[in-house]
Amino acid sequence: MTAPRRAAVLGSPIAHSLSPVLHRTAYAELGLADWSYDRFDVDETALPEFLANLGPDWAGLSLTMPLKRAVIPLLDEISETAASVEAVNTVVFTRDGRRAGDNTDIPGMVAALRERGIEEVDSAAILGAGATASSALAALARICTGEVVVYVRSDARAAEMRQWGERLDIEVRTEDWADAAEALHRPLVIATTPAGATDALSGTVPERPATLFDVLYDPWPTELAARWSAYGGAVVSGLDLLVHQAVLQVEQMTGRTPAPLDAMRKAGEHALAAR
């Protein structure tokens, strides 16, 4: 019998996180009966003490807002992927006691798109310029051969996104949010905005839309995603992203591959339907 191992998701607020459902499903499918996965409401102030009090039975942590940047100074090392966007959503505790940080959102986005047959695009658009937008830009740096147009609400956000473009070595042009309907004609549109922010755009979906990646999953579908689907366009959801990034977390924390993608997705869908 192996020693019990623990993992959890941290953030604030955290009550509605689907991560416990996804990770526990993976453990069950992988036969890891002695593994547990919990959720803890932890903010930036409480994070250092929380980490300091973890014992040797801890395998890893999933991090959500507002901890993805706050955790970096508390780690021994971070991956190039995490460093590229200054955001860590995964911490693995190594056998020699080190805290290693990674970002599975970026490869998770790429994997979710690849699952729908999107391997490469010649241009793309991003709606919004918050924390998720930088991860979206990093994902596009891997699959987009041309420019990315980012639609923003402020000059400050526009400047930030152009700086991210330079850092990630991808061509970025910024446009005002008032012109966001133009984004919908691109071969790939990634919506990174909060619930309701893109509702007004649903009436401007073109007759033959290409691919929409909407990072929201609750409530789902968004008005934009529903109209996009009705017009025959391909839609990748926030649940697709959540599951793919969780698959990578499970594999890193447990050392077992492949993680059960289909079972984790079905568990997530069931949990959302029950809400």
Q: Is 38 within 8 Å of 90 (Cβ atoms)? A: no
One-letter identity of residue 226: A
Compute the half-sphere exposure of residue 113: CA atoms within 13 Å on the CB side of its CA. Answer: 27
Which residues, 6 or more positions from 224, have their beta carbon under 8 angstroms from its beta carbon?
Answer: 191, 198, 199, 201, 202, 205, 212, 214
Asked if residues 162 and 172 have their Cβ atoms less than 8 Å apart, the reply is yes
What is the Cα–Cα distance from 264 to 243, expressed in whole angstroms? 7
Please pick, among 23, 68, 99, 265, the residue that the annotation labels catalytic.
Answer: 68
Residue that is written with structure tokens 């547990």 in the block? 36
Active site (annotated) includes residue 68: yes
What would the DSSP string read from start to end of 16-68?
T-SHHHHHHHHHHHHT-TTEEEEEEE--TTTHHHHHHT--TTEEEEEE-TT-T
Task: Decide if 212 contacts 180 (C-beta within 8 A).
Answer: no
- Please list the residues that pair with 211 across neighbouring strands: 188, 234
Q: What residues are labeled active site? A: 68
